[in-house]
Structure 1
């Protein structure tokens, strides 16, 4: 009878392990905003192979080819709000030529919010202004009165 009861307990434990899965804990959201720029290509370059599958001589009459210069312009933003991990942050950035401007915000572990506003250009370099919104919320610490027992 004792062996039979032990077998039932083991079978129940194995069934519990086999049917275990991830339990939904919370809901996380994120977003991304993208700007797609069209790339304009010039015509294909000759390789001078004339039918010998790329093993021909270099075509010296083409001269030195430069990649076309594209005006740097982009804009993006994204954000994350994860209730499970407490990860709350967002960022946006815009570039027009050599001028970059952006902001990112994140919720720090102590409960305060950090906001960083930045700009960058050829004349001034990279400059950032950091703001802290709210007050830090530190957890209550409990001490055992300074008595060390030597055990964990």
Structure 2
């Protein structure tokens, strides 16, 4: 059974090398995961409607926080995504790839989760309403190596 995992990065001037390195690291992580014979992955996403004008602050909060994800069994990769702009907000999503739904659920009750979210809500309002969680079980993954 083949699997599908597609990652698209928005390229910015001057960031080409860093983005290529990130694409390479994600590809190796997913590839190594697939070569281990694992057939299921889980993707956890939180969507944020960030108030216009607060995008840089929101990004800084995420980039400067300690995620503690590296110490959690089953963690594969994390991405902070910036999406389209609307009149009153810019859409962002946190996108975390897990070996399984059970690994994700175990993380949500772990000490690492508590530490990673200890400062949540301690900043001035940056987004409209609460984040919207979406969880997905991966059905198919296609990598550059398997797309042949």
Relative to the length of structure 1, the TM-score reads 0.23
Higher relative contact order (CA 8 A, sep 6+): 2
Look at both structures and tell me which one has the larger radius of gyration over its CA atoms: 1
Relative to the length of structure 2, the TM-score reads 0.24
The structure with the greater share of residues assigned to strand is 1
